[in-house]
Amino acid sequence: MISAIVLWGLTGFLVIASLLPLSKIPFGTIRGLAFPREQFFVLAVVLLPFMIFFQPAPAASVGVALLLGVALVQLVYIAKFTPIWKKQSVDASSAHLADKGRQISLLAANVKQSNRAYDRLISLVQQKTPDVLMAIEVDAEWIAALRGPLGGMFPHWVEVPRANSYGLCLMSRLPLDETDVRELVTEGVPSIRTKVTLRDGQQIRLYVVHPEPPIISHDTKGRDSEIALIGLEAAEDLLPAVVTGDLNDVAWSTTTRRFQRLSGLLDPRVGRGFYNTFSATMPWMRWPLDHLFHDARFRLIDMARLGKIGSDHFPMWFVLALTGDALPDTLPEQADAQEEQDVKEMIAEEKKRDREAIGSDWEDG
């Protein structure tokens, strides 16, 4: 039987962990508590019968009210990513499915730099044959290992090897143009911006990003600024935009919801599922960190979390179809002028900071 001390200790922790992220303070300790909302919801529900049946009446009423409050707070955030919610990304029609010239398939994989099971990702790529492959956390050894077996499959490569766990490699069967590799906010944290030409000649903009993770001892302004800056760019881009990568942020967070307001891009998870990509090694601690957001002119054909590749992340698979129109009722709420101004000030301030990228030494040895 669960003891009263443990029961009330867990209840108190859940209450605090549910309230702190509501402050929106950009610090890792606080923002990190928004990650395990699914786990907090389940724990609150599990504790309810213990509170009801094993605590005296007056105390039990207080405990039940607290646990129900915790469950409700978590549910407000995560319900959006279940099938009970209206889908944000519209499903492709039969006509879109038939028009192969306007389709694009993308496979995004955070490989974990120290993972050397190259063959597992290579085998997956050869099986899925994506139009675009994005490998994240790659160093020179990873790129060399991918080049041999995949060089013939992908004629277009953007190689950004790094030894600090922020390396990127973009491989494409479709032509790339106007490719920029940029360190937008923090030195040592690159991102890729490029133009992709579809088979029918239509062009789209692709952003591949991997901002810093939130950690207990540091603020999240670097990550938040990079995500927000990409959102501002995507909103101004004349081409239909796709933003993808390991955002080191959950789909329901303050930062990601603000990104959607700034960019106007859609999240295909909404109304479909969590598609938790981290952690691949700890089933009890999983949340959605690897994302794809797209312009409303796209329709969703397929989305899937793929099998393990030896990394601590699962790869994600997406297939989109470009159309000529956006459906207004699918668009997210827009940011107001004050929010945009606040974001621009945060970005400008963060760009002035002189520091090493968070976690640069995590993969050493």
Q: What is the DSSP string of 117-186?
A: -HHHHHHHHHHH--SEEEEES--HHHHHHHHHHHTTT-SEEEEE--SSS--EEEEESS-EEEEEEE--SS
What pLDDT does 1 receive?
Answer: 56
Q: How many CB atoms lie within 10 A of CB 364?
A: 10
Tell which phi-psi region holds residue 172, choosing left (phi > 0), alpha (psi between -120 and 50) or beta.
beta
| Euclidean distance between CA atoms 317 and 259, whole angstroms | 21
Residue 227, φ and ψ in degrees, nearest 5: -65, -40
Task: Please state, in angstroms and rounded to a whole number, the distance separating the CA atoms of residues 277 and 107.
Answer: 13
- Upper half-sphere CA count for residue 52 (Cβ side, 13 Å): 9
Query: Which residues have a Cβ under 8 Å from the Cβ of 70 and sit 6 or more positions away?
Result: 11, 14, 15, 18, 40, 41, 44
CATH of domain 94-347: 3.60.10.10
- Judging by DSSP bridges, how do beta strands 203-209 and 241-246 pair with one another? parallel
129's tokens:
């044959």
Q: Quick check: helix, strand or coil at residue 266?
A: strand
Overall pTM > 0.85? yes
166 neighbors 208 (Cβ within 8 angstroms): no
**Which amino acid type is present at position 87?**
K
- The phi and psi torsions of 41 (rounded to 5 degrees) equal -60, -50
Sheet of strand 203-209, all strands in order from the earlier edge strand to the far edge: 176-182, 191-197, 203-209, 241-246, 290-294
- DSSP state, residue 191: E
- What CA–CA distance (Å, rounded) separates 136 from 108? 8
User: What does each of the 365 residues of the chain score in pLDDT, given as a tens digit?
Assistant: 578 899 999 999 999 999 999 988 999 999 999 999 999 999 999 999 999 998 998 889 999 999 999 999 999 999 999 999 999 999 999 999 999 999 999 999 999 999 999 999 999 999 999 999 999 999 999 999 999 999 999 999 999 999 999 999 999 999 999 999 999 999 999 999 999 999 999 999 999 999 999 998 899 999 999 999 999 999 999 999 999 999 999 999 999 999 999 999 999 999 999 999 999 999 999 999 999 999 999 999 999 999 999 999 999 999 999 998 887 677 788 999 999 999 999 999 999 998 999 988 877 65
206: helix, coil or strand? strand
Q: Could you tell me the two tokens for 164?
A: 């600090």
Candidates 215, 263, 217, 220; CA nearest to 243 is 263
pLDDT of the residue at 364: 66
Angle between the 37-54 and 4-19 helix axes, to the nearest 10 degrees?
140
* Cα angle for residues 301, 233, 206 (degrees, 5° grid): 35
Sketch the domain layout of the chain as residue ranges.
4-81, 94-347
